[in-house]
Structure 1
């Protein structure tokens, strides 16, 4: 009997927790399988006797994208009420209690599992980023109870050797030079210079489409504080399937050559950097994770560090635990122990200044990550998701993005720049990059007569532009309203000429340029000023409303402004409570939607 750990991760935190849980089981001599929910064959779930679910929460309490296939399968109305009666499970959810629906994805998943006959084996855990020690405050007691509950059901591995918390466990994955690999007889004869191209495009994802960069233009003024790009990509294949308005484009950034070189030098791995290798799983019960190349595709360490493993992110607690197992230097061991024992030390040293893994390793020069464990220790280099700013009908064969490059200062000397931002900044016209397009979560009404209200401050206007283009093609321009917010019409008024044109065609365009006058103006205020139209469109005509932008207070305040418009305080007849419930129900019925980050 081998427990199965399934995780759904958005930024990598849930995956990190899942891998920590798996290591805890293995350190006790038990076998365990750990994988992402979106890679697990859902039909096999009923045959899993011991299950551990770990999930983050996305947006307004929605399941993260990697949980959606499982979630939709569990929601099927024709499932027998006892279909999971042989499954014994527990669950750990990650969230932030400052949000209305704290750990909501985990809570609805646990409830649905129980509704279908699943047996709760131990108490659920709810990790809160707002706790004094972050999710650790909930994770550690939950993990102890989970181990105490599960271990009696599990036999010891025959080859188990007791390890302390500072001992290095055996590797889970291996990098085998091709010359030493049994697969060389069946492996393709591929020139070495093509290995990195194969590795960067072979994540086992059949939905990846090759594109060519047609434009990478700065659309903010030269003297503006922010660098925002309009990027246009053209599909290389003529038969690429058209995407829907609201679709998501995922880009796979690359680590810079300089950072890869620095990592290799710090770890004394320069001689191994370009040796062709196969990636394999050492443990029969553990499949290769999705972010690594398939086991039958050759790669190199340099390619893995460039395309698959993240050496630019800030290290988590688990990374320092790994370094402690590897360290032979007493002074470094003492410092690492401080990090492991006190999460505030990690926050001060790594999280707050955005110190990267490479920079951390430069501070612990006596500690080396061996090739045998590098795939397990370094986190995956994740795709970055962007809302597509174009409709396929208006721009056939192309994808347009509106992207704000991330650059900021911390207490470190070198200014910080996001890995993807640095990569995008260096993209030149003609560059070839694979992209992945995910279906939308927001859908326009089928009838052009149904009104649609679009709210998109800043780069949140990207998906709204795609919706506007689709509505124009629908002949629904007079039944569409856009509320766009920027700081200044001079500097960051994205797509200004288009909005002017659509306004002349009869579309309601409302612009809140917050810094162009003494008193700041935001989209929420403009919504209230148009209360009569909001009331008519939402209540009388059953309209839709979509919100996109930063996940700070804006989405909540926009919903509050909409509720005010349809209440007795605005232009409606509903009480405050009724108006809030109405807006909430709109979102539940998918007449309302939110895309925030």
Structure 2
């Protein structure tokens, strides 16, 4: 962002000062400045003593809806709703799970912030609204003005699909866009802020006067100053392997010091770790590219050596279709072109491979170092469920991290963050972290509400936080844990903790499924089915179901089993069971933290 002196009302000195300031502003600061400069001059220039113009009250009303799986959409919705209120706009904010779709007829201005989960699926809380809007019951919406902010992950094929579907369907029903839809990747802060700035400007232009509050983006007193963009460097206090000798898996229990971080979190929240790429992989990539590692490149408004950029800033381990398509502009390799033309071929190739594979398999490429880094996105932070209660460990946070390790194309691969934690991070080292709130995975408000916790592998982590919290508060209500892994002897994660809580009454019952200990593989869903009558009885008593773990296999199988148990035990049709489950989700009695 640069001002031109030509036709500018500023002199050269002023232009120089502005050009020094503007590139350094964050998205939030630009929103604030936009609103500030749109205020009446009398509120800006206190020296000029003249009567302020009569301010007509803003009558603009806006409904902000969000569909969130991990809390990102909800966090943005709450933040932007607050900013709208500070600008005098009458705001209603609601989750898609609780908003009645027929009320769309009464809404004039709608902002929808929604994520896409997995391979193009809506978040759990958005499913019913999504189905309604795409059904014959959806009303005509010629009166509606709307805009969609879509959150997603470009490493998935159906990037931001839910937001795109909503945007297109609103338009089909006759609604008018306030501003065009914006699609956000995992590093969404600045892009989302630009969308909101455009929305805010458009809304305020439609009113008689644009009022603004100078405090709209000030953090609340006492809030932490640490965030994804400004992580806290936490000292590693403990790093141990939870699996026994001979296990096929390696699961690390990490304890981090958060002294002086001023973090505030609850059971169900996550810690984000900003990882770095393996130096050996970076060196091999630079060698294959035949680049000088000290070549300076510009990345995210920062100039640094190529090696630093590839190691600390840029994602090089995931191959997405958008990335491969952009790379296609720098090669005439016929096999690479064929790869992109065949949907199944590029998917098969990309699975488990990284940028080094592409460079080695399809050289030469015609790019220079700067052109290469321009294609790459920022390394996404990795989120890990918190495995401890802050009430019990005020100066620490515990994590459960499963090491990702596999071989593809004759080369051993490691997860960017999990591999680093397992192989390189030592006690005394520091990790850049921040708290990621997840309001969609929370203990019940009422202590006597029964809870059913279902998880496999590292999906056990949040339940350790749940029970540690309940122990600290002296809660001994009904709590049922269903846990699965491979072998009883080597993979019973946190076994002594569960035994202690069973003995004290903090945990009332537990069922375990170790899939590799018998000829017939037993999984957590089999334990639900084997205790179907009890499971349904707990639901009748108002129990909340929690599911944490792998979305594609475990969580999908558990979901199908829950539907089947409700159908059989409740003597319901499949349609009635589905409606029952949807009602559980709306009541926040079926919560999932799946990945």
Counterpart residue number, 2:523: 522
- Tell me the distance in 2 between the aligned counterparts of 1:264 and 1:593: 44
Match of 1:380 among 378, 395, 399: 378
Question: Could you tell me how far 1:466 is from its partner in structure 2?
Answer: 0.9
Question: Could you tell me how far 1:369 is from its partner in structure 2?
Answer: 2.9
Residues 520, 307 of structure 1: alpha-carbon distance in 2 compared, 3 angstrom cutoff: same
Residues 241, 93 of structure 1: alpha-carbon distance in 2 compared, 3 angstrom cutoff: closer
Unmatched 5+ residue regions in structure 2?
Answer: 1-25, 39-65, 82-90, 95-102, 169-224
The more displaced of 68-77 and 222-231 is: 68-77
Say yes or no: does 1:67 pair with 2:73: yes
Aligned residues of 1:249 and 1:435 also touching (Cα < 8 A) = yes
Counterpart residue number, 1:481: 480
Question: Could you tell me how far 1:394 is from its partner in structure 2?
Answer: 2.3
Residues 387, 38 of structure 1: alpha-carbon distance in 2 compared, 3 angstrom cutoff: farther
Say yes or no: does 1:210 pair with 2:233: yes
Match of 1:244 among 258, 266, 271: 266
Aligned residues of 2:253 and 2:400 also touching (Cα < 8 A) = yes
- Tell me the distance in 1 between the aligned counterparts of 2:123 and 2:560: 14
Question: Could you tell me how far 1:587 is from its partner in structure 2?
Answer: 1.5
Question: Could you tell me how far 1:250 is from its partner in structure 2?
Answer: 1.2
Counterpart residue number, 2:19: none
Match of 1:219 among 238, 242, 246: 242
Aligned residues of 1:513 and 1:521 also touching (Cα < 8 A) = yes
Match of 2:330 among 302, 326, 332: 326
Aligned residues of 1:317 and 1:343 also touching (Cα < 8 A) = no
Aligned residues of 1:38 and 1:67 also touching (Cα < 8 A) = no
- Tell me the distance in 1 between the aligned counterparts of 2:238 and 2:139: 48
- Tell me the distance in 2 between the aligned counterparts of 1:278 and 1:260: 17
Residues 312, 368 of structure 1: alpha-carbon distance in 2 compared, 3 angstrom cutoff: farther
The DSSP-based 3-state class of the residue aligned with 2:466 is helix
Counterpart residue number, 2:412: 415
Aligned residues of 2:293 and 2:306 also touching (Cα < 8 A) = no
How big is each residue's C-alpha offset from its partner over 1:340-396, in whole Å with a ceiling of 9 and x where there is no partner? 333344234x313x2211221133443243233234211221111111111112222
Residues 564, 377 of structure 1: alpha-carbon distance in 2 compared, 3 angstrom cutoff: closer
Residues 95, 473 of structure 1: alpha-carbon distance in 2 compared, 3 angstrom cutoff: closer
The within-5 A match list for 1:388-537 is: 388-410=386-408, 412-425=409-422, 426-440=424-438, 441-506=440-505, 507-537=508-538
- Tell me the distance in 2 between the aligned counterparts of 1:518 and 1:341: 43
Counterpart residue number, 1:308: 313
How big is each residue's C-alpha offset from its partner over 1:318-345, in whole Å with a ceiling of 9 and x where there is no partner? 4344344334xxxx43333323333344
Residues 398, 488 of structure 1: alpha-carbon distance in 2 compared, 3 angstrom cutoff: same
- Tell me the distance in 1 between the aligned counterparts of 2:229 and 2:153: 34
The more displaced of 261-270 and 423-432 is: 261-270
Counterpart residue number, 2:558: 558
Q: Once superposed, what is the RMSD of the aligned Cα atoms?
A: 4.8
Say yes or no: does 1:272 pair with 2:277: no
**Structure 2 length normalisation: TM-score?**
0.64
**Structure 1 length normalisation: TM-score?**
0.64
- Tell me the distance in 1 between the aligned counterparts of 2:317 and 2:463: 32
- Tell me the distance in 1 between the aligned counterparts of 2:139 and 2:392: 43
Counterpart residue number, 2:582: 584
Residues 101, 460 of structure 1: alpha-carbon distance in 2 compared, 3 angstrom cutoff: closer
- Tell me the distance in 1 between the aligned counterparts of 2:131 and 2:563: 26
- Tell me the distance in 1 between the aligned counterparts of 2:523 and 2:341: 44
The DSSP-based 3-state class of the residue aligned with 2:333 is helix
- Tell me the distance in 1 between the aligned counterparts of 2:128 and 2:76: 12
Counterpart residue number, 1:596: 594
How big is each residue's C-alpha offset from its partner over 1:228-277, in whole Å with a ceiling of 9 and x where there is no partner? 11111112x4352231001111112211222222333344442634x5x7
- Tell me the distance in 2 between the aligned counterparts of 1:106 and 1:43: 36
Counterpart residue number, 1:81: 107
Unmatched 5+ residue regions in structure 1?
Answer: 1-35, 48-57, 146-201, 280-291
Residues 447, 222 of structure 1: alpha-carbon distance in 2 compared, 3 angstrom cutoff: same
Counterpart residue number, 1:283: none
Question: Could you tell me how far 1:135 is from its partner in structure 2?
Answer: 5.3
- Tell me the distance in 2 between the aligned counterparts of 1:553 and 1:102: 20
Aligned residues of 2:272 and 2:382 also touching (Cα < 8 A) = yes
The within-5 A match list for 1:5-20 is: none
Question: Could you tell me how far 1:120 is from its partner in structure 2?
Answer: 8.7
- Tell me the distance in 1 between the aligned counterparts of 2:28 and 2:491: 38
How big is each residue's C-alpha offset from its partner over 1:289-321, in whole Å with a ceiling of 9 and x where there is no partner? xxx3xx4x664433221111012222x344344
Counterpart residue number, 1:26: none
Question: Could you tell me how far 1:63 is from its partner in structure 2?
Answer: 5.4
Q: Give the total of aligned pairs.
A: 454
Aligned residues of 2:330 and 2:367 also touching (Cα < 8 A) = yes
How big is each residue's C-alpha offset from its partner over 1:503-552, in whole Å with a ceiling of 9 and x where there is no partner? 12232122222333444433333334444543443223x22111111113
Residues 400, 115 of structure 1: alpha-carbon distance in 2 compared, 3 angstrom cutoff: farther
The DSSP-based 3-state class of the residue aligned with 2:488 is coil
Residues 241, 319 of structure 1: alpha-carbon distance in 2 compared, 3 angstrom cutoff: closer
- Tell me the distance in 2 between the aligned counterparts of 1:437 and 1:307: 20
Counterpart residue number, 1:199: none
Aligned residues of 1:38 and 1:66 also touching (Cα < 8 A) = no
